[in-house]
């Protein structure tokens, strides 16, 4: 269209638009800090996405130039993804991170906690980033692409949980963060996982039973131990012999499943009056939501010089000094017994609302069936007779606890390495399947491809090469 054919009104409007763009007037508007942060994050995310796209495009072009098959991928950050909800799980991921870095394997790490210690690790092999928190962060995690995603987060993909099953993740693998089976997981917590990296073989019957009840395909389950327990073992300082007077560590759960909520704090007074040195270590969540209860306990015990309150995030110092632990259904019982080979008295608190948990379908909680192997189990109506139970527990031989630990926990001392071995095996299997598809594809002239290749590794639900010696997987 020629300039002379443009109506004068349109020419004036165009001129005004150019002047407005060149000389903008001050805007009487306010952008709150929260919105500003969101806009900055969106801008950064868009730039990052563009860079990733361009990088992958360059890799693809370079690979074709070298004559590589499309199915065969080199290791790069996007193939292995570690997803953490925050610093609470740092010790779970730390041995895995260290094993990956030692072996020169690139990977990505995303976290929902800006103070996650993993974010301070500076290494070109580790692409780490904070993805925010809340529902938006779960959505970002679900949108990531990876061949293998390692996550401790249960409930991914279950109705009502803010994170759907990541569609662009080929293998979603659950890494355990405590000794126990899945009976006290919320219903359906692992239904959408492809693999479970079990603490030990004791977890397998419950997983298979739920799959059978729900008609789910068999997950790949392999016993690879407990990374955070290995990390705590490096810091543990077990003492020799027994203190006089004995040191009793009381470590309750929080909320309505905690022993203080069920039976009150009087047993703490009984222990203090008997002359025991008592270390009271409340659950970290109690420090946030049960401040009134803790204040009352402080007031009740303030006149006893042999009672100490421990609120340190690291329990190593208290566990190293203790001769016996008193707890309820908390998994900290196994940490103490397995790391320090000292007995645990379990206060047998009944499960509240069992219909919300997998125990409703399984009918039994593994931790309940083995609690007596850690030490004495005391019923709620016997809490007033805790002192004789402490005396009996102090005579329990440590060899029995060590034997039970070795029976339960696979790959003790090198769980991080075992998990990396398994992850690499999954990648090899994936690449082998891609190569097989490429080989089977018809040639451009329409003739069939070559013979199918041999798939490395195993079918879902069977043993992979990463299993520890003496630990069966299925």
- Residue whose C-alpha is closest to residue 272's, from 340, 200, 319, 326: 326
Q: How many CA atoms lie within 13 A of 413 on its CB side?
A: 2
- The whole-angstrom separation of Cα 474 and Cα 467 is 10
**Per-residue confidence band for 12, with pLDDT thresholds at 50, 70 and 90:** low
User: CA separation (Å) from 395 to 101, 244, 343, 347?
Assistant: 44, 14, 9, 19
DSSP string of 369-413, one letter each residue: HHGGGTS-EE-GGGGGGHHHHHHHHTT--HHHHHHHHHHH-TTTT
pLDDT of residue 385: 81
Question: Residue 213: is its pLDDT beyond 90?
Answer: yes
Angle, alpha carbons 217-220-226 (nearest 5°): 135
Which tokens belong to 161?
Answer: 């949980």
User: CA separation (Å) from 269 to 44, 282, 306, 311?
Assistant: 56, 16, 11, 19
Q: What is the DSSP letter of 164?
A: P
pLDDT of residue 406: 96
Which tokens belong to 141?
Answer: 């995690």
- The whole-angstrom separation of Cα 236 and Cα 244 is 21
Highest mean pLDDT among 52-56, 280-284, 380-384 belongs to 280-284
Question: Residue 357: is its pLDDT beyond 50?
Answer: yes
- The whole-angstrom separation of Cα 451 and Cα 121 is 46
Which tokens belong to 356?
Answer: 């919300």
Asked, as a colleague might, if the bond just before 386 is cis with ω within 30 of 0, I would say no
pTM for the full model?
Answer: 0.77
Q: pLDDT of 150-182, one tens digit each?
A: 999 999 999 999 999 999 999 999 999 999 999
- The whole-angstrom separation of Cα 406 and Cα 225 is 10
Q: What is the DSSP letter of 166?
A: P
What average pLDDT does the segment 108-133 reach? 96
Q: pLDDT of 429-468, one tens digit each?
A: 999 998 888 776 554 444 444 433 333 333 333 344 345 6
């Amino acid at each position: 269209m020629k300039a002379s054919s443009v109506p004068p009104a349109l020419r004036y409007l165009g001129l005004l638009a150019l002047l407005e763009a060149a000389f903008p007037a001050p805007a009487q508007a306010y952008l709150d800090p929260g919105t500003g942060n969101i806009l900055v994050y969106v801008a950064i995310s868009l730039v990052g996405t563009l860079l990733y796209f361009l990088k992958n495009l360059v890799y693809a072009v370079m690979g074709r130039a070298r004559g590589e098959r499309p199915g065969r991928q080199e290791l790069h950050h996007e193939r292995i993804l570690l997803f953490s909800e925050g610093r609470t799980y740092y010790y779970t991921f730390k041995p895995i991170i260290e094993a990956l870095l030692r072996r020169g394997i690139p990977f990505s790490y995303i976290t929902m906690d800006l103070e996650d210690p993993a974010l301070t690790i500076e290494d070109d092999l580790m692409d780490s980033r904070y993805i925010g928190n809340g529902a938006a962060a779960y959505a970002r995690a679900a949108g990531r692409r990876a061949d293998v995603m390692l996550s401790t987060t249960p409930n991914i993909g279950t109705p009502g949980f803010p994170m759907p099953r990541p569609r662009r993740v080929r293998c979603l693998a659950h890494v355990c963060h405590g000794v126990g089976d899945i009976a006290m997981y919320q219903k359906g917590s692992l239904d959408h996982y492809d693999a479970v990296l079990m603490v030990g073989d004791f977890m397998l019957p419950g997983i298979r039973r739920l799959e059978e009840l729900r008609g789910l395909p068999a997950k790949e389950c392999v016993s690879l131990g407990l990374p955070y327990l290995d990390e705590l073992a490096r810091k543990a300082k077990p003492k020799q012999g027994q203190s006089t007077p004995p040191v009793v560590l009381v470590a309750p759960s929080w909320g309505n499943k905690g022993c203080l909520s069920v039976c009150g704090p009087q047993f703490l007074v009984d222990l203090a009056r008997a002359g025991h040195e008592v270390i009271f270590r409340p659950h970290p969540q109690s420090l946030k939501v049960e401040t009134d209860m803790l204040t009352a306990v402080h007031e009740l015990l303030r006149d006893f010089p042999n009672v100490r309150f421990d609120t340190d995030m690291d329990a190593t110092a208290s566990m190293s000094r203790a001769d016996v632990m008193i707890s309820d259904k908390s998994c900290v019982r196994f940490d103490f017994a397995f790391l320090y080979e000292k007995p645990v008295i379990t206060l047998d608190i009944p499960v509240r609302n069992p219909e919300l948990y997998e125990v409703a379908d399984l009918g039994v909680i593994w931790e309940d069936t083995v609690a007596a192997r850690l030490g004495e189990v005391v019923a709620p109506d016997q809490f007033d007779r805790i002192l004789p139970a402490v005396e009996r527990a102090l005579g329990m031989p440590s060899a029995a606890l060590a034997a039970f630990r070795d029976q339960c926990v696979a790959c003790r001392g090198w769980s991080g390495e075992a998990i990396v071995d398994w992850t690499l095996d999954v990648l090899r299997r994936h690449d082998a399947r891609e190569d097989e598809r490429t080989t089977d594809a018809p040639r451009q002239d329409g003739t069939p491809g070559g013979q199918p290749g041999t798939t490395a590794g195993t079918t879902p639900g069977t043993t992979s090469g990463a299993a520890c010696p003496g630990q069966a997987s299925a």
